[in-house]
Amino acid sequence: MPGMDLLAKQVIFAEGCRGHLTKGLFETFDLREGKDPQTYAIGIKELWDIDPAKSKPGTVWHSVGWPLSTDTYGGSFLYHLNGNQVAVGYVVGLDYSNPHLSPFEEFQRFKTHPKVRDVFEGGRRVSYGARALNEGGFQSVPKLTFPGGCLVGCTAGFLNVPKIKGTHTSMKSGMLAADAVFEIVTADEAQNAVEPVSYAEKLEQSWLWKELYKVRNIRPSFNKGMWAGMAYSALDTYILRGNAPWTFKHHADHTNLKPADKAPKIDYPKPDNVVSFDRNSSVYLSGTNHEENQPVHLRLKDATVPIAHNLALYDAPEQRYCPAGVYEIVRDENGDNPALQINAQNCVHCKTCDIKDPSQNIQWVTPEGGGGPNYPNM
């Protein structure tokens, strides 16, 4: 089914983190000029039905570090919900440098920690999903308006990174954008205005802008490792209160990988199928479906790059950073002639490949036919 033509006077783009059409707008209207690169993390999440005797609705756990090494940004969240359910997830900063790292396996390993394992033993995993989230914050927010539209929510990058919360900022930006667009579409035609510039002004005067400004240095302070980041974050939050006279810079995530032979291999434990699982059974729980005979939504700019560059230099990191097992290196019966196989029907639309591919050769485009994961309770 072909996509639809948008003929509206104004279009508000709300595609979520790493929007595909938004990427095109960045280029067409130069919206990122003078801004820091956007940086990202991948968040992998599961929903569990747990033993009612272990349920403590309202209990929230957050952790940093283990099982990640201290030079990689990441941590977990675990929320006890009503109805004997627990939402658990793990976030890994996509600026990690070791190409052998697998965010999926880090998450599975996290659940084997004795304290965490106990929550899930005797329970049943009911849902699985993964999604990229923005980590650039204030200094990575692009120019927000252009002739005929504007950007809201996570496609613009309004996530409060230390809190991993972006629902409230998405709603606020949507409300302010609606006000600005209403002014334009109801204005006297003689004014001939096409760019809802007042949206950016309204935003800069709102609590959203102040909130993002105050936490702008927390995430980049972890570029020097977990302990330095924790120490700086305490200083910034409790003493400086977000008012430091400096703003740390960001770098693009895809530039950070070390060559595979310069990074330690990671030996992940096999899934125990009690609290830890493999990718295939996980994707099954995401309800992912793509209609047959649709144009492929994972595109390579250059089909030679995966083997000649990614496999040769980085041991094909797409095999590990994709949480859905979409990318596989297959070989002939002699173990020769490697080729990249793309199992696009498994894609859970997390956008990590579009972000982390070291040569930016993979392009995630919005699939036709409305396919993708089905997350009713996530």
Ligand X SMILES: Cc1cc2nc3c(=O)[nH]c(=O)nc-3n(C[C@H](O)[C@H](O)[C@H](O)COP(=O)(O)OP(=O)(O)OC[C@H]3O[C@@H](n4cnc5c(N)ncnc54)[C@H](O)[C@@H]3O)c2cc1C
> Site residues (CB under 6 A) for ligand SF4?
298, 322-324, 326, 347-353, 364
25 contributes a contact to ligand X by CB under 6 A: no
Alpha-carbon span 369 to 174, nearest angstrom: 26
Among 45, 111, 143, 351, binds ligand X (CB under 6 A): 45
Q: Are 378 and 276 in contact (CB under 8 A)?
A: no
- φ/ψ region of 376 (left if φ > 0, alpha if ψ in -120 to 50, else beta) reads alpha
The option from ligand SF4, ligand X, none interacting with 285 (CB < 5 to 8 A, set by class) reads: none
Among 9, 56, 165, 331, binds ligand X (CB under 6 A): 165
16 contributes a contact to ligand X by CB under 6 A: yes
For ligand X, the closer CB: 166 or 317: 166
Among 14, 161, 200, 340, binds ligand X (CB under 6 A): 14
CB of 100 to ligand SF4, least distance (A): 17
For ligand X, the closer CB: 137 or 306: 137
Residue of 262, 252, 281 lying closest to 356 (CA atoms): 252
Question: Within positions 310 to 369, which residues make up the interface with ligand X, using CB under 6 A?
Answer: 366
The option from ligand X, ligand SF4, none interacting with 352 (CB < 5 to 8 A, set by class) reads: ligand SF4
Q: Identify which range of 55-63, 140-148, 154-162, 195-203 contacts ligand X by CB under 6 A.
A: 154-162
CB of 52 to ligand SF4, least distance (A): 33
For ligand X, the closer CB: 14 or 347: 14
164 contributes a contact to ligand X by CB under 6 A: yes
The option from ligand X, ligand SF4, none interacting with 54 (CB < 5 to 8 A, set by class) reads: none
For ligand X, the closer CB: 114 or 376: 376
Q: What are phi and psi of 345, to 5 degrees?
A: -65, -20
The option from ligand X, ligand SF4, none interacting with 170 (CB < 5 to 8 A, set by class) reads: ligand X
Place of tokens 């927010």: 141
127 contributes a contact to ligand X by CB under 6 A: no
Q: Are 21 and 366 in contact (CB under 8 A)?
A: yes
CB of 156 to ligand SF4, least distance (A): 20
Q: Identify which range of 10-18, 195-203, 214-222, 260-268 contacts ligand X by CB under 6 A.
A: 10-18
For ligand SF4, the closer CB: 50 or 257: 257
The option from ligand SF4, ligand X, none interacting with 45 (CB < 5 to 8 A, set by class) reads: ligand X
Amino acid identity, position 211: E
Among 59, 97, 167, 280, binds ligand X (CB under 6 A): 167
> Residue numbers of the site for ligand X (CB under 6 A)?
14-16, 19-21, 43, 45, 89, 131, 133, 153-155, 159, 164-168, 170, 366
